[in-house]
Amino acid sequence: MQHSLKCSQKSLKMKSRKLRDVEVSAIGYGCMGLSGGYGATPTKEEAVKIIRAAYDMGYTLFNTAEFYVMNTVNEELVGEALQDIRNEVAISTKFWMAENWEGKSTQHLMQELRTRLENSLKKLRTDHVEIYTQARVNKDIPLEEVAYCMGELIKEGKILGWGLSQVKADEIERANAVTPLTAIESEYSIMERTNEKDVIPLCEKLNIGFMAFSPLANGFLSGSATNANYDGLDIRRVITRFDKDNLAANQPLLDLLHQFAKEKDGAGMRVTPAQISLAWMLHKKDFIVPIPGSRKLERMKENFCAANVELTDEEFNQIETELANIKIYGDRRDEDIVKLRTLH
């Protein structure tokens, strides 16, 4: 790779942040892509080695889910890779209750959550997880009941904290009032900033961490996106920012990132556009932790080294000013991704 920020392993491990009370590396590792979603996947053995390599680089936050089971069972990969260093890392996993729950009791919910959690713990080869997150809100289950059950699991020591994924501000307030939330996990990047309006300010007010998935816009912000013919379970099939016309229309954003990367290059730092986009996010708020998920070791190192790229207030403000004049084309609609997985 032409550009690579040079930083020692020691300096990498010194960068950390807190998701409420859970201390993690400033950049986390999203494990989903190891099981599918972005074209060809590594073998189970290769995936385990990749996760362990991420730890060796300095990553200490690993994000997975019970439903990441496209080609391999993701929680099993994480469990095998981290079992002998379990106390040195933080594991975040998610559950998704999509079925009809209308009329079912809190007791039934508690039993279901315990069963799901125990299954996840078995796969993860551990007796607890740092963050247990509900992925997507089920309208049949009052969030207050979910929050109560999470509080009980915290008391039992099976989880240290809990979270919600892809939620609105009012839903966060309702849940947090029952059992304080540890983190919100939702999409956020320099390309997708919807959560800046209500959710991120509320997280700051309530001392809730924010895990940003797709912080590089599913790879678009790396500058290597092409008009490829994505097929199968590759979620880029249904992400419209990868449409041919939108790739061209969004070039001004990539040009902006290249501009700032070049300016940092001039200062002798050797920075990539992807690192600028991650550095922008880290500068935004100190409770935001991006969780990119590359499968290539060099790209993983590049992403992690973004924690050592510091933007001055002047540089950050200049980027913000430029962004205000750039229109983004295309999006990433979660319902389309869910439908894609259902059809296969």
Structure-token match 């556009």, residue found: 273
Owning domain of residue 296:
16-343
Q: Which H or E element spans position 106?
A: helix 106-124
Q: Which H or E element spans position 211?
A: strand 209-213
Strand-pairing partners, residue 94, are 133
Q: Tokens standing for 147? A: 């929050």
119 is a domain residue: yes
CATH number, domain containing residue 234:
3.20.20.100
pLDDT value, residue 37: 67
130 is a domain residue: yes
CA–CA dist 24, 11 (Å, integer): 15
11 is a domain residue: no
C-alpha neighbours within 13 Å on the C-beta side of residue 29: 32
pLDDT value, residue 248: 85
In order, the DSSP letters of 178-202 are TS--SEEEEE--SS--GGGTTHHHH
pLDDT value, residue 236: 63
Check pLDDT > 50 for residue 343.
no
Number of domain units in the chain: 1
Q: Which tens digit of pLDDT belongs to each residue from 58-93?
A: 999 999 999 999 889 999 999 999 999 999 999 999
Check pLDDT > 70 for residue 99.
yes
Q: What average pLDDT score do residues 108-117 get?
A: 96
Strand-pairing partners, residue 162, are 132
Q: What average pLDDT score do residues 2-12 get?
A: 47
242 is a domain residue: yes
Please pick, among 68, 132, 148, 329, the residue that the annotation labels catalytic.
68
3-class state of residue 289 by DSSP: strand
221 is a domain residue: yes
Q: Which H or E element spans position 54?
A: helix 44-57
4 is a domain residue: no
308 is a domain residue: yes
Four-CA torsion 86, 89, 90, 95, nearest 10 degrees: -50
pLDDT value, residue 4: 43
- Least confident residue range of 148-157, 163-172, 209-218, 219-228: 219-228
Q: Residue 173 class from Cβ within 10 Å (0-12 exposed, 13-18 middle, 19+ buried)?
A: middle
> Between the CA of residue 57 and those of 79, 112, 125, 134, what are the distances in Å?
18, 37, 22, 29
Q: Tokens standing for 269? A: 């730092």
48 is a domain residue: yes
Q: Which tens digit of pLDDT belongs to each residue from 173-222?
A: 999 999 999 999 999 999 999 999 999 999 999 999 999 999 998 878 88
Q: Active site includes 68?
A: yes
Structure-token match 């790779």, residue found: 1
